A and B are shown apart, each in its own frame.
With several copies, the nearest count.
Chain A
Amino acid sequence: MRPVAAKLTEIDNRTSVGHSLWLTPCSGWEEQPEPGQFVMVALPHPPAGFGREVCDAVPMSVAGWEPGRLRLTIKDLGPTSAALLACRPGDMLAVTGPLGHGFSLDARQPLLMGGGVGAPPLLFLAQQLAASGIDPVTLLGGTTVDEIFHREEFPGIVEIATDDGSAGHHGFVTELLDGRSPDLLYSCGPEPMLVKGLEWALANGIRAELCLERYMPCGVGLCGVCTIDRQLVCQDGPVLGSEQLEHSAEFGKVVREAGGVVRHAPA
């Protein structure tokens, strides 16, 4: 596994807070990655108007794939993601991956719940499920309508929730869970949302697969900084099953930032 130069060939799905990039790496990516797998995407040269301090590598979920190329959907969350969003077709990035373990594809009546840029890996999952003849139901949430990524692209039924009511249900996306009975809940998004999703799934006897985002300095299972309890999120995850998180002492409680500095999550 090593960073491979990748050409930005296309930009689509713009919102005011982000968009999708299609990348064509110099080699690899002929085989289909698992939905839920991710890459470390690096910015080797700063785009116009940025300094070298934005050149870094950050984890991003695979949001789509065709033989030899892949899609990432990026939200402006800080210096590197902002600089990635400033890149133009023809610019070169570098990707390492696909990394980690993704979602299982063995649901019959799947429910997908995504928050913010949790949507991209779920889109890729939904496309795979649909391709195998299974119709997913998807719940997408965000603080505002522009935080809802890929709304038009999801196959099957899509329901929306926004914190500010700018689209769909006015409130948290987790409020749309009640009364449903899928055989499997797939979810990706902010950890507090995942915690609520897991609680709901456990309460209703439904299995869940949750895609976690943890601070990842290496992405390949060498450093251990991404650990949650005893699991390496970058290798054992990023998708972990309800049984792996049910008794966690850290899920939703302890997160780590650069250097492994602990931040206790707000309750």
Chain B
Amino acid sequence: MADMRVELAGLKLANPVLLASGILDSTPGILARMADSGAGALVTKSISLEPRPGYAGPTVAEVAPGTWLNAMGLPNPGLAEFLDEFDLQGGLVPVIPNLVADTPEDFGKLAAGVAGAGAKLAEINLSCPHPRAGWSGLLTAQDPAAAATATAAAAAHLPVIAKLSPDVADIGAIAVACAEAGAAAVSAINTMPALDIDTELERPVLGNAFGGLSGPALLPIGLRCVLKAVRALRDAGHAMPVIGIGGISSGDDAAKYILCGAQAVQVGTSLGGNPERLGEIAAELGGWMERKGYATLDAFRGNALEWLP
């Protein structure tokens, strides 16, 4: 058996295939199921200080086979109830809370809250693809200075993964800004902002109009972003890990991200209606490693980089 263990910002994970934020992670029950399925770690839905009910529906629409648009609107019960319900300390599989806020102060409060409850690592969502007026998600991810301030505010309390958007002119610059602000890792990518129209109804398909694109169509965009972040960090002299996200639906897809230099990966949309797929993807990655004769992830991580112009 290939050794798939990986270290992520001090956490030791059994394998590099993590559950992505917002998919099948809204209750302790489903999180336990995802842990048993074989996840390397579990990222929770985005948690805000106050409860958010989510957007009006339709919240999701499949736009091509397996590829979805969603605008859930970050539904969550707020920090207090979240801490009440979820156990951030115990458990064989680490739980990584994902935090969302509109100001650095609020990121700080959330980080302090989850650190106080025993979290060892948090992900901060700098990149909600469809923020409403007053919600600063996307803008934070687009501005290196804003991303750095938010990162620093959270990183004062515990190690943080800064989650980046593909909808930026230069993702490498944002990754470097987060590294310099003290991030323990960056994860990329969040969904790609997008829109679909119903020609019969002559209006957007989703209740929120704009949504985020996820699933297979996102894979080549995610690979490019991860590779650009990996290179920018390397060129700037930062050893900070990058977590690859976007469109993974097989062990082969996971291997692509790791060949581009990702430390670990997160899987979301392809688990829709099929929670047990997460463990299968991890097993497929292990099978690929064995077939290729790789004993560890380090043995092939970043191999594709030498082929770049």
Contacts and interface: CB of A to CB of B under 8 A. Distances in A.
A–B interface present (Cβ within 8 A):
yes
Given A2-B62, A45-B201, A262-B77, A222 B51 contact: no
B269 A3 contact: no
A227 B56 contact: no
B272 interface: yes
B58 A261 contact: no
Given A42-B207, A44-B198, A258-B53, A3 B61 contact: yes
B236 interface: no
Contacts of B269: 222
A176 to B, nearest CB: 33
B59 A259 contact: no
A220 interface: yes
A224 B23 contact: yes
A228 B33 CA distance: 12
Interface residues of A, number: 40
B205 interface: yes
Contact of A217 (B75, B78, B205): B75
Interface string A1-19: 1110100000000000000
Interface string A191-233: 0000000000000000000000000011111111101111110
Interface in A26-70: 26, 40, 42, 44-45, 53, 55-58
A5 B60 contact: no
Interface stretch (B24-32, B118-126, B222-230): B24-32
A259 B54 contact: yes
Interface string A216-259: 01111111110111111001000000000000001000001011
B76 interface: yes
A140 B31 CA distance: 37
Contacts of B272: 220-222
Given A5-B200, A250-B29, A259 B23 contact: no
Interface of B: 22-27, 29-30, 32-33, 45, 51-54, 56-63, 68, 70, 72, 75-78, 81, 85, 198, 200-201, 203, 205, 207, 269, 272-275
